Amino acid sequence: MPEPGTVAELGEFGLIRAVTENRRQPGSTLLGPGDDAAVTATSDGRVVTSTDVLVQGVHFRLDWSTPDQVGRKAIAVNLADIAAMGAVPTSVLVGLACPPDTPAKVITGLADGMWAEAESAGAGVVGGDMVQADQIVVSITALGDLRGREPVTRAGARPGDILAICGRLGWAAAGLAVLHRGFRSPVTVVNAQRYPEPPYAAGPAAAEAGATAMIDVSDGLLADLGHLAEASNVGLDLSREALELPKRLVEVGTALGADPWRWVLTGGEDHALAATFPSFADLPEGWRQIGVVNMPDSGVTLDGETYHEESGWEHWR
């Protein structure tokens, strides 16, 4: 019998079996997909949770990305939030909506990417729900384990702390600019837009090193640092020299007639982690200082100057 071509032909429960059977789970999964709810274990009784929604045409396009890449992206953007709290990702729940004529291979491809990305972070896909809709919508709820540490929030930065970053900045925005121009290369830049590579382990490492505040850079460096500064009631001053504009982005900017600094400062979706540390702290591997924490009311500045352009992405604007 030929494999069904659409999700309607496969049916709800056939589709569930197709995306959950013969998948590996981490040790933190005590009961995975198949019951009314999943059961997961944490080391100290506290669970860090976060959720994000990805909508076709807004957060991804299947003419730009493969289903596998979209699946990886859906998991990555959520697990980056868990890491930004200083927690270790443990599990994810998946809510999926799609039209009945969606090819079944699109959904199984999404699932392949989700399971692969979750496994790369040490987490499992433990359950979820599927419904019919007019377009593909993926909603992920992620869970994490603090492993005995206090959560690192946005509200703990203090004047005199140093500001550091771990991960890439500007690559996803550059990739988006390339795709909008109708190109598909350079592949390393375009793939940064198709699926991010958050430094999951850097979050817990920062917490262990004494990070005072932390945030996932999803909407643009300046915009997200503005959230951290507001929550902590401090100012932040960045060093343009310390931000290190990558040569590859300079090349792409030159080819497109664009300013690569805008990608680095305001482009989102790379999901790097930004954190503040006491001035005496030894930064964990992969972290580098990009600025300092100042007194309140000074805002977020670049080499002491206010940045007057748009600082990042915001829905409904």
Q: What is the DSSP letter of 6?
A: B
Determine whether the annotation assigns residue 149 to a binding site: no
Determine whether the annotation assigns residue 313 to a binding site: yes
Q: What would the two tokens of residue 250 be?
A: 């300079």
- 299 three-class SS: coil
Determine whether the annotation assigns residue 145 to a binding site: no
CA distance 26 to 74: 19
Determine whether the annotation assigns residue 50 to a binding site: yes
Determine whether the annotation assigns residue 28 to a binding site: no
Determine whether the annotation assigns residue 232 to a binding site: no
CA distance 284 to 290: 14
Determine whether the annotation assigns residue 36 to a binding site: yes
Element (H, E) at 73: helix 67-84
In 3-state terms the chain splits into helix, strand, coil percentages (rounded to 5) of: 35, 25, 40
CA dihedral of 151, 114, 63, 316, whole degrees rounded to 10: -30
Determine whether the annotation assigns residue 315 to a binding site: no
Determine whether the annotation assigns residue 64 to a binding site: no
Determine whether the annotation assigns residue 52 to a binding site: yes
Determine whether the annotation assigns residue 51 to a binding site: yes
One-letter identity of residue 225? L
One-letter identity of residue 25? Q
Determine whether the annotation assigns residue 68 to a binding site: no
Determine whether the annotation assigns residue 59 to a binding site: yes
CA distances from 173 to 191, 197, 243, 244, 268 (A): 11, 14, 16, 16, 6
Cβ neighbours of residue 35 closer than 8 Å, sequence gap 6 or more: 127
Determine whether the annotation assigns residue 101 to a binding site: no
Binding residue ranges: 36, 50-52, 59, 81, 128-129, 154, 216, 218-219, 269, 313
Binding residue ranges for Mg(2+): 36, 50-52, 81, 129, 216, 219
Binding residue ranges for substrate: 59, 269, 313
Binding residue ranges for ATP: 128-129, 154, 218
